[in-house]
Amino acid sequence: MESSDRREYPLYTVDAFTAVPFCGNPAAVCVVTEDRLSDIEMQKMAAEVGLSETAFIEADTDEEFKTVSRFRLRWFTPTTEVPLCGHATLASAAVLFFVIGNQSEMLEFDTHSGILATRREGEEITLNFPLNPSTRQVHDRAGRNEDFLELFKYIVDEDKVLAVEYSSTTKKLLLRLHDNVSREFLENLKVDTQQLMKCQLTTEVRGVIVTVIGSAHKEIKAYDFISRYFAPWNGIPEDPVTGSAHTVLASYWSIVLNKTEMCAHQCSPRGGDLRIRLRGDRVELIGQAVVMVTGKLTI
């Protein structure tokens, strides 16, 4: 292909849900105008970038990125398109607000999960997402669910698990550990993600959340709960900070703690913080972001 026939797209990498570089969850954000990308091209670009998510923001003209408040948005992992991604939405809003200079106080994204609103609050960005309730799953010896017991072998000892929940809307499995389990134990947990992918499950699982209460532990008293998230089925062995997982966690812990406002920490090696506010059947996820790289991707 001649160089004159190649197309250039602005591309950014952003650390989301953190105010500190090299922490939080990195996402790529690609800005797309009239030269549309095909689904195949977007998937190849996401694989090339290699981060857990690449977001594609679409508008009709370059000028609209500065002047309008509604955009089309899609998210791709290195292997597949996903219907919802929190940290890449936060990253997209950060690029529009803080790099491109969009002056709107609120931005809306038209996505496969409906219209998602983001709001600028000083240095923070608030995401408004659908709340995703989960349902209790029987996992004790009197009523074994062989699906989940098979997963436990590669995640955590069954005796450490207090409750199992499943979110059918997000296909995420939530494992709550007993309250006496420490933050250090969760941080050091070794999950065999390769074996997880080989499990033959009758219940479709696309991600596993492992979580423990925060207030019971002196060393994590600033947080209501902490978690880690594993999604090898989507090409993500462990996601550093996961907005979509917190739409499930927010629903679960709000019932357990009887709270509508909470602070959460995802204790992956990179780590990240979220503030959470429930609003009926919606949840607000609030965090910061750091733009790390600006450039262009040429195809």
- Same domain membership, residue 152 and residue 76: no
Closest alpha carbon to 285 in 238, 256, 247, 248 = 247
Structure token pair of residue 167: 């979110």
Tell me what pLDDT residue 143 has: 46
Query: Known catalytic residues?
Result: 53
Q: Which region among 45-49, 84-88, 145-149, 276-280 has the lowest average model confidence (pLDDT)?
A: 145-149
Q: Please check whether residues 275 and 143 belong to one and the same domain.
A: yes
Q: Judge whether 128 and 282 are in contact, CB under 8 Å.
A: yes
Residues 119 and 155 in one domain: no
**The pLDDT of residue 142:** 46
- Tell me, yes or no, whether 125 and 216 share the same domain: no
Kindly report each contact of residues 118-126 with a partner whose C-beta sits within 8 Å and lies 24 or more positions away, as own/partner: 118/89, 118/90, 118/93, 120/93, 121/286, 123/19, 123/288, 124/286, 124/287, 124/288, 125/90, 125/93, 125/94, 125/97, 125/286, 125/287, 125/288, 125/289, 126/284, 126/285, 126/286
Q: What is the pLDDT of residues 46-76, one digit of tens each?
A: 999 999 899 999 998 888 999 999 999 999 9
What is the secondary structure of the chain as a DSSP string? --GGG--EEEEEEEEES-SSTT-SEEEEEEEE-SSPPPHHHHHHHHHHH-SS-EEEEE-SSTTHHHH-SEEEEEEE-SS-EES--HHHHHHHHHIIIIII----SEEEEEETTEEEEEEEETTEEEEEEE----EEE--STTS--HHHHHHHTTTS-GGGEEEEEEETTTTEEEEEEPTT--HHHHHT----HHHHHH---SS--SEEEEEEESTT-GGGTT-SEEEEEEEGGGTEEEESS-HHHHHHHHHHHHHHHT-SEEEEEE-SSS-EEEEEEEETTEEEEEE-EEEEEEEEEE-
d(CA 264, CA 222): 9
pLDDT at residue 104 is higher than 60: yes
pTM over 0.85: yes
Query: Do 159 and 251 have their domain in common?
Result: yes
- Residues 208, 89, single domain; the answer is no
Radius of gyration of the chain (CA): 19
CB atoms within 10 A of CB 12: 21
Asked if 285 contacts 246 with a C-beta cutoff of 8 angstroms, the reply is yes
If asked whether residues 123 and 139 sit together in one domain, one would say: no
Q: Are residues 103 and 121 in the same domain?
A: yes
The percent of residues in the chain predicted with pLDDT above 90, rounded, is 76
Angle between helices 86-94 and 243-257 (to 10 degrees): 120
- Domain span at 244: 135-279
Residues 63 and 27 placed together within one structural domain of the fold: yes
Cα distance between residue 127 and residue 140, in whole Å: 37
What is the number of structural domains in the chain? Answer: 2
Q: What is the CATH number of the domain that holds 125?
A: 3.10.310.10
| Same-domain check for residues 189 and 144 | yes
Does the structure show a pLDDT above 70 at 155? yes
φ, ψ (nearest 5 deg) of residue 255: -75, -45
Tokens of 190: 């070794």
pLDDT band at 1 (very low <50, low <70, confident <90, very high): very low
Same domain, 16 and 113: yes
Question: How much is the pLDDT for 236?
Answer: 85
pLDDT value of position 227: 97
Examine the domain organization and report whether 105 and 119 are in the same domain: yes
> What is the mean predicted confidence (pLDDT) over 156-179?
93
